[in-house]
Amino acid sequence: MKTPEGQEIEAGSAQICERLKKVRIQVCGTRGQSHFAALLQLSPSTYNYYEKGRIPPVDVLDRLLKQTRTGRFWIYLGDEAHPYDLFDYTPSRSRDGPMEFLEGWGEDGVRYLQADAFPGYNFVYCGGKVIEVACWAHARRKLYDARTTDAARSAQAMAYIRLLYDVEKQAALLSPADRAALRQTVSGPRLEQFKAWLENQQAEHGGSVFPKSPMGEATVPEPKAPVAGAVRVPHRRRPGDRQQRGRACPAADRHRPGQLDVLRQ
């Protein structure tokens, strides 16, 4: 991207989405999302995906229908030994897609799966050999959204997560063994502190955050997220979240990977 003065600047997806939102507010006001979407010749729901930094579902042509129907792509990201991008199309967002693709994965040894909290993945973890690695980008999303009603707690939660990302930044250039050691000694204690803080905010533990409040909806499930996220502390290669990875690396060959990420579109 370039500034008005012509200077080159780096812009991540978060900055682009924030800029898009600011333009929409300037043009159509805070409640003019539908009108702004119409100006871009998009449906309100499709535009909402873009403003939140998500990829909308796929419009699929169907000769038997008068209009398009919605399809889905599941993106499987493999490990360093399987540097491939695989896009698996399914006609719905049900768990049938990942069930078919991941059938038998993990039967011959321990595997690591990094994904969002979609319940359709639960069947993968049931056998015990596929270990869930939580995604911090998803864990932090509702905590960030809660800033409009509970700015202080939202900022505190984001600060805890920032500390974990700082460790990942340090670990990026280390060897796998040194990376694992750094996570054990630095990330481990920080995760425990964050988990304790999250639990102490809840009304049932003497705090003032109730389950139905925005912060409550963000934090009630999250004491479990650091536990799942802690799987990456002893592990040598997994990034803190799927969005930190420089490229997608899914695997589709016969030698299936020991580490796998799943993205839904």
Would you write out the chain's pLDDT as a tens digit for each of its 265 residues? 444 444 444 445 667 778 888 899 999 988 888 899 889 888 888 888 888 777 677 778 888 888 888 888 888 888 778 888 888 888 888 888 888 888 888 888 888 888 877 888 888 888 778 888 877 887 888 888 899 899 999 999 999 999 999 998 999 889 888 998 999 999 999 999 999 999 999 888 888 998 889 888 887 654 444 444 444 444 445 555 655 443 333 333 333 455 556 655 5
210 neighbors 216 (Cβ within 8 angstroms): yes
* pLDDT for position 92: 83
* pLDDT for position 8: 43
To the nearest 10 degrees (0 to 180), the angle between helices 188-201 and 151-171 is 170
218 neighbors 113 (Cβ within 8 angstroms): no
Does the global pTM surpass 0.75?
no
Cα–Cα distance for residue pair 224/199, rounded to 1 Å: 10
Residue type, 255: H
* pLDDT for position 1: 43
Q: How far is CA 57 from the centre of its chain?
A: 17
* pLDDT for position 154: 93
Domain boundaries, the chain: 13-56, 71-264
Q: What is the DSSP string of the chain?
A: -B-TT--B----HHHHHHHHHHHHHHHH-TT-HHHHHHHTT--HHHHHHHHTT-PPPEEE--TTSSS-EEEEEEEEE--TTS--EEEEEESSSSTHHHHHHTTTTTTTS-EEEEE-S-GGGHHHHTTSSEEEEE-HHHHHHHHHHGGGT-HHHHHHHHHHHHHHHHHHHHHTTS-HHHHHHHIIIIIHHHHHHHHHHHHHHBGGGT-SB-TTSHHHHHHSSTTHHHHHHGGGTT-SS--SSGGG-SS-----SSS--SEEEEEE-
Cα–Cα distance for residue pair 73/91, rounded to 1 Å: 9
Residue type, 199: E
CA nearest 58: which of 50, 67, 69, 47? 69
Cα–Cα distance for residue pair 187/165, rounded to 1 Å: 9
Exposure class string for 67-76: b at 16+ Cβ within 10 A, else e: eeeebbbbbb
Q: Is 240 exposed, middle or buried (0-12, 13-18, 19+ CB in 10 A)?
A: buried
